[in-house]
Structures are given as C-alpha cells and as structure tokens.
Structure 1
Amino acid sequence: MEMNLVIVGLVFVVLGYLVGVKKFTWLLAGYNEKRVKDKNKLALLVGGTFALLGIGIAISGFAGIQQAETIMFVAIGIILLELVYVNVKMVE
C-alpha cells in the first residue's frame, strides 16, 4: 500500500465534497463570484472532478501501484484541462 497516494486521494475526496456538496467555492484559487455565470454548476463540476480523482488516487494507493509521479501527473493534467474549460465556458 502506498500511503502517500491514499492520503492525497483522501484530501482530494474531502475537497471534492466541500466544493461539490457544501458549495465552499471560496476554496478554489482565484474564484471570483462576480465573474462566474453559474455557481452551482461550477461547484458540481469541480467538486465532482476532485472527488473522482481522489477516489482513483486512493484506490491506486490501496492497490500498491508504485508510479505515484505518473498518477499525479495525470491528475494535474485533468485539473488543468478543467481549468481551461471553466475559464472558457463558465466565466464572463
């Protein structure tokens, strides 16, 4: 078991819950409520992505996958793609 991946995965799941369910969008870096078209859609999209990434990272940690750098590289790539999507489609 890769404990560092499990911990990072759990942090992502908690952040996904706080942003997606509790709507704590203030946790998002650079968030400006005045520029976002739909706060609920943004919270669900970002929170859901973080939760899914967290579950995937935690499962890979429990499975004992040794490529932590590769897993985190893929997760960061997904987050960056989502950042571009949000800035193009959801921000005025």
Structure 2
Amino acid sequence: MENNLWIVGLVFIVLGLIIGVGKQTWLLAGFNEKRVKNKTLLANLVGGYITVIGILFFISSFYTFLSEQILVGALVIGLFILIIFTNIKLVDKE
C-alpha cells in the first residue's frame, strides 16, 4: 500500500466535496467571482472532477490497477480541459 497515494486521495476527496457540495469556489486559484457566469456549474464541475480523481487515487493505493503516472497524467489533462471549458463557456469576456 502506498501511504502517500491514499493521503493525496483523501485530500482530493475532501477538497472536491468542499468545492462541489459546499460551493466554496474561493478555494479555486485565480477565481474571479465577477467574471464567472454560473458559479454553481463551475463548483459542480471542478468539485466533481477532483472528487473522482481523489477516489481513483485512494482506490489505486490499495489495488494497483492504475499506475501513479497515469493518475497524475489524467489529473493534469483533466484540469487542463476544465480550464479551457471554463474560459470558453463560463467566463465573461469583458
């Protein structure tokens, strides 16, 4: 069992739930409340994604079905896609 992997997974799960369920978007770096059209959708998307990645990290610490490199790659690529989607669909251009 990878001790660091399940700790990272738990941290991601907690952060994802705080952002997604609690709508605490102030935790998002670079978040400007005045420019985002739909804060609830942003919180649900980012919080849900971080929670799912956290669950995958946590499970893979006990059962090695995905390597750490694949998980970190999925995290980075997914967050990059979320940034692009958010800037195109949810941010006012003004």
Query: TM-score, normalised to structure 2's length?
Result: 0.90
Corresponding position: 1:60 with 2:54: no
Q: Which residue of 2 aligns with 1:15?
A: 15
Whole-Å Cα distance in 2 between the matches of residues 51 and 70 of structure 1? Answer: 17
1:13 Cα deviation after fit: 0.5
Whole-Å Cα distance in 2 between the matches of residues 66 and 4 of structure 1? Answer: 15
Q: Which segment drifts farther, 68-77 or 47-56?
A: 68-77
Aligned partner of 1:50: which letter?
Answer: I
Q: Which runs of 5+ in 1 are unaligned?
A: none
Q: Which residue of 1 aligns with 2:25?
A: 25
Q: Which residue of 1 aligns with 2:90?
A: 90
1:23–1:40 Cα contact (<8 Å) kept: yes
1:62 Cα deviation after fit: 1.4
Percent identity, please. 47
Query: Structure 1 runs of 4+ off > 4 angstroms?
Result: none
- Alignment of structure 1 residues 38-57 onto 2, 5 Å: 38-57=38-57
1:2–1:64 Cα contact (<8 Å) kept: no
1:42 Cα deviation after fit: 0.7
Aligned partner of 1:67: which letter?
Answer: S
Whole-Å Cα distance in 1 between the matches of residues 66 and 60 of structure 2? Answer: 9
Whole-Å Cα distance in 2 between the matches of residues 4 and 65 of structure 1? Answer: 16
Structure 1 counterpart SS, 2:22? coil
Query: TM-score, normalised to structure 1's length?
Result: 0.91
Q: Which runs of 5+ in 2 are unaligned?
A: none
- Number of aligned residues: 92
For the aligned residue pairs, the C-alpha RMSD in angstroms reads 1.4
